[in-house]
Each structure stands twice: as structure tokens, then as C-alpha cells.
Amino acid sequence: MTPPKITRHPGSERVIAIGDVHGDLEAFKRALTLAGLIDNQDRWSGGKQVLVQTGDLLDRGDDEIEIMGFLYTLREQARSAGGDIVLLLGNHETMNARGDLRYVTPGGFEDFAAIKLPEDPGKVKALERFPEQARGRLAAFMPGGPYAQKLATHKAIAVVGDSVFVHGGVLPKHVDYGIDKLNEEVSTWLRTGGEFPAIMSSQDSPLWVRLYSQDEGLARNGGCDVLSKTLDKIGAERMVVGHTPQMGGITSACDGKVWRIDVGMASHYGGEPAALEIQRGQVRVLSTAREAVPVQK
């Protein structure tokens, strides 16, 4: 059987990956500055480099509108300079789109209060089941809403150069299903609604799985073998994931085949901003907490 097609984003001499932001614009800018991607006026200074942000811009912090606006402007600047910003979905983005607001801060409700409610009577009726203070946010992120339309430009999984990037993790079954197919189904759902894609609904979906993020689980469940099989199917050298905070800084496992870049840098967690650099096949951790460390290919 012919394997499903996988769209590959053009690589760059230097690719930077930054993990979960969770509503903290200052921490995010510190990570971008650390990586040399923005100047002192917060404009793109990365030239033809590529930034991959692995999702979870939302929840736990109050700067969500500012972060999204800043990122979309920065993406335009990067593309004008010959670089790019590849944005991924995290589980918190799809949680908001599905009406799960458990981790929204009071400020996160207030900032979206002025969002125009939909005219569709069915959608209005659905919103009436929620407290009034939540309706603006729900209208913003529900499929078809203005912010859901923005999130529809984010991928669930992206292959950039010789690396695959995802919020939680990619399993062999996701590759067999089709990465392009999966991305398109999620994007279509965010734009137009309907049924949430079944492959994204389980705890081992690409946005939720933690197999590669916890050493104990890796050893117990043969995670490194699963990872190697997945990378072989994709034709990638390594996987870069967020989702599970590594409070001591970016970590790796399986002989450098997986890198865990959620460092809990948002104020909610209190971690230090960090970024992962992939340059000419070499991987380097950039961190405010310690000197940049070169790592084997």
C-alpha cells in the first residue's frame, strides 16, 4: 500500500522550536529574544530562519489576545524576510474550540467579552447553556468563530526539514492514517464545525499523548521502539514535542530522537524560557537558566 503523502515544510539552515506559552507574552518574548528571532522593538530579526511553536498558546494566563496578534504579525514579517513561523495546535486550543474552559483565567474571559455573538439561532441557543461571562470567549473559539478561523491555520503535526513537530506525540497509527489528512480534517472542523475528528478525540491523539514525554512511561511501554518506528515511517531524524512540563529545562530521550521543549515558562508554572535550535543536523538547547549546550546529531 502506498503510504499517505506527507507535506514537508522547507527546512532552513537554522530551525528554532519553542514550547507551551500559556498566556504569558513576556516569557514568550524572552524565549524569542534568547533565540535571536526578535529585535528590541519586537520585530522579526531571524531572516530566513524558521520558528516552530508547538501549541498551547491559550489558558492559564491573561495575554492570549496579545500573543495571537503578535504571533500573526510576526509570521507575516518572517515570511516577508524569507523565513517562516509554523504554528501548531495544542490540546488547549482544541479544548477551547470544544467549549472546555476549565483553565481559562478571569482575564481570559474578560478579554473576549466583546466578541460578537453568532447570528445562527442554533449556535445562540448552544451558548445560552453557559454563563454570560463565558459566551464571548465561546463565540470566539467555537468552530466557525473568528479565533477558530485563526487557529485553522495551525497544524496538528508538521514536518520541517528532518524533524517532526507536534504538541503531544505522533504514533505509527497517526502516520498510517495520514498526517496531511489529519491536519486538513482538524482545520476544516475549526473553520466550519461538524463532528470533531475521531482520531483527535482520544487520550493518545497527537495533541494529548505523553508516551515520549515521561521517562518511566517510555521504558515501561517500549516508547523508544514506537518512536523509531514512527520516525522511520515519516522519514525524520527526530521528534520535538511540548505538552508535558520539563521543569528542569528541555530534555531528550531515546538517543536524541525525541526532544521535550515544554519548560513551563509561563508564570503559572514559574519555569525559565528556553528554545531548541536545530542547525545543520546539530541540536542545541538555548536557555536562560544555563549556557547553551551542544548535543550530538
What pLDDT, on the 0 to 100 scale, is given for residue 174?
A: 98
What pLDDT, on the 0 to 100 scale, is given for residue 119?
A: 86
Global model pTM greater than 0.85:
yes
Judge whether residue 125 has pLDDT over 90.
no
What pLDDT, on the 0 to 100 scale, is given for residue 189?
A: 98
d(CA 160, CA 90): 17
Is residue 215 within 8 Å of residue 224, measured between CB atoms? no
Judge whether residue 295 has pLDDT over 80.
no
d(CA 117, CA 135): 8
Q: Which residues are marked as active site? A: 92
pLDDT single digits (tens) 68-122: 999 999 999 999 999 999 999 999 999 999 999 999 999 999 999 999 988 888 8
pLDDT single digits (tens) 37-52: 999 999 999 999 999 9
Where do the domains of the chain lie? 8-295
pLDDT single digits (tens) 140-184: 999 999 999 999 999 999 999 999 999 999 999 999 999 999 999
CATH homologous superfamily, domain 8-295: Metallo-dependent phosphatases (3.60.21.10)
pLDDT single digits (tens) 224-277: 999 999 999 999 999 999 999 999 999 999 999 999 999 999 999 999 999 999
* Contacts (Cβ under 8 Å, ≥6 apart) of 29: 38, 42
